[in-house]
Chains A and B, each alone.
Chain A
């Protein structure tokens, strides 16, 4: 299987409550909370597309779009 390649992190700033769960559990430390306590993808180039952030987000506020996602 070909490794998926990141297209983008889609972050819903209105839904994010800044709990920091995605930031803490990201194995590559791609994510950070900004001054307004909303998640941002600081180092997207390091993303493994494991989607652990997407699966754990209590607010359904982060989504990993890869080149393998069908529209």
Chain B
């Protein structure tokens, strides 16, 4: 399998629990990169902290395992200095939208060319199952033992409102769609967000009595539907999958280059 050329085999088997969605995202992402034919040396993967963030250790690209919530900030710095490189930033829901929420909305607003992947397992896996801003009302976690009273974000609506120029959503069950959307997001010039609904069987699954990883994957199949489907009209609770936004907008590094040129002329 050619995707093996993209990983650091010496670090396998990986640390994720049996059935964890993070490995499925790694699998789909490697296939997307293989399909669009990127060279390893063109890619920089930047991650923060969390089970999900460990993904950067396993890929044989340029990689940076940075600090919690700030992966996009590190990525911004790299992109500003080396705009020819492709930035891929996988984040957990906590990493991206709890501690990293402010960085996330402003990165989206700037429209710098990079791909933010939000692996949404609705919990803090790494630290033992505390609730996240994506857990949602009524869910159980280590920090909401009598059930959570916080409402959750809608990652897609939040990203659209913050100004991302590409916004997609899929799940770990829908592997072909995952590979397809990730590929398109990486090719898109501008700030791309892909939400991947994923399973943490160890904490979110267990605390919410959702069964095994397999049962959770079946849940993604049953509870989601393609954008604009008839099923959605019948059952508004279904979560839509697909590409919600894809628009051409001025890209930040390009604009910055223009500013440099304008400033040089002024001298």
A: residues with CB less than 8 A from B are: 14-15, 17-21, 24-25, 52, 54-61, 63
A1 to chain B, nearest CB (A): 17
Q: B217 contacts the other chain (Cβ, under 8 Å)?
A: yes
CB <8 Å contact, B13 and A19: no
Given A20-B212, A58-B23, 15 more pairs with CB closer than 8 A: A14-B13, A17-B19, A19-B18, A19-B19, A21-B19, A21-B214, A24-B214, A54-B1, A56-B175, A57-B24, A58-B27, A59-B12, A60-B27, A61-B13, A63-B1
A60 CA to B22 CA, complexed, in Å? 12
Interface residues of B (CB under 8 A from A): 1, 3-4, 7, 12-14, 16-24, 26-28, 30-31, 172, 175-176, 179, 212-214, 217
**Chain A to chain B: the 8 pairs with minimum beta-carbon distance, closest first:** A58-B23, A19-B19, A17-B18, A19-B18, A55-B175, A15-B13, A24-B214, A58-B24
Query: Bound complex: CA of A60 vs CA of B16, how far in Å?
Result: 12
In the assembled complex, the CB of A35 is this many whole angstroms from the nearest CB of chain B, namely: 16
SS class, residues of chain A in contact with chain B: loop
Contacts of A52 in B (CB 8 A): 175
Which of B16, B17, B23, B212 contacts A57 (CB under 8 A)? Answer: B23
* Chain B residues with CB below 8 A from A60, complex form: 3-4, 7, 12, 23, 26-27, 30
For B17, list chain A residues within 8 Å (CB): 17
Decide: B214 and A20 in contact? CB cutoff 8 A: yes
A55/B31 in contact, CB under 8 A: yes
A25 to B13, CA, bound (A): 22
Q: Is A19 in contact with B27, judged by CB distance below 8 angstroms? A: no
> Most chain-B Cβ atoms within 10 A of its Cβ — which of A14, A15, A57, A58?
A58
Contact with A55, one of B21, B28, B217 (Cβ below 8 angstroms): B28
Known contacts A17-B13, A19-B213: A55-B23 contact under CB 8 Å: no
How far is it, in angstroms, between the C-alpha of A23 and the C-alpha of B33 when the chains are bound? 26
Alpha-carbon distance between A57 and B3 when the two chains are bound, in angstroms: 13
Q: Which of A18, A55, A63 interacts with B18 by CB under 8 Å?
A: A18
| Distance A33 CA – B195 CA, assembled complex (angstroms) | 32
Residues in A neighbouring B28, C-beta threshold 8 A: 55
**A50 CB → nearest B CB, Å:** 11
Structural contact, B14 and A59, CB atoms closer than 8 A: yes
Once the chains are docked, how many angstroms separate the CA of A60 from the CA of B179? 15
Closest to B23 in A: A58
Nearest-neighbour CB distance to chain A for B207, whole angstroms, equals: 19
Residue of B nearest to A54 (CB): B1
Q: List the B side residues contacting A57 at CB < 8 Å.
A: 23-24, 27
Q: Tell whether, in the assembled complex, residue B214 and residue A58 are in contact, meaning their CB atoms are under 8 Å apart.
A: no
Q: How far is the CB of A44 from chain B (nearest CB, A)?
A: 18
Tell me the complex Cα distance, A17–B176, Å: 23
Task: Name which residue of chain A comes closest to B21, CB basis.
Answer: A58
Chain A residues within 8 Å of B16, by CB: 58
Closest residue on chain A to residue B179 by CB atoms: A55
